[in-house]
Amino acid sequence: MRNIIPFIGALLLVAGAGFAGDNGEVITVEGEGYEGADMTVEVTFDDGELVDVEVVEHEANELLVERPFEEVPEQMIEEQTYDVEGLSTHPTTSEALIELVQEAFEEAGL
């Protein structure tokens, strides 16, 4: 029993650190999108490189956010920055997503 306690402690430490195994560091950020709808975004970095941006939760109408939630992250990953144009047809949602990813970059020290 004594040997298992440090093992469990180590597992909790790794789980709480915000790492996703081989996928690198995952930073979760929350904010508001279109019309104040809550939004949660997971941003994954691996060796300082942006590898994934995923909106994991939102309260907005799916029809209004489908394009920006797909296209803006693709643009960010391709350009390796949060500083992208976004979609002119969905400025509020794009801007909210950009701001959340910027927050994750800052939290990651990038």
Q: Is the pLDDT of residue 15 over 60?
A: no
Residue with tokens 């996928």: 23
- What pLDDT sits at residue 37? 87
pLDDT (0 to 100) of residue 103: 97
Name the more confident of 81 and 10. Answer: 81
Question: Whole-angstrom Cα distance, residue 38 to residue 88?
Answer: 21
> Which CATH number describes the domain made up of 21-108?
3.90.1010.20
Q: What is the CA radius of gyration of the chain?
A: 16
Average pLDDT rounded to a whole number, residues 85-90: 90
CB atoms within 10 A of CB 50: 23
pTM value? 0.76
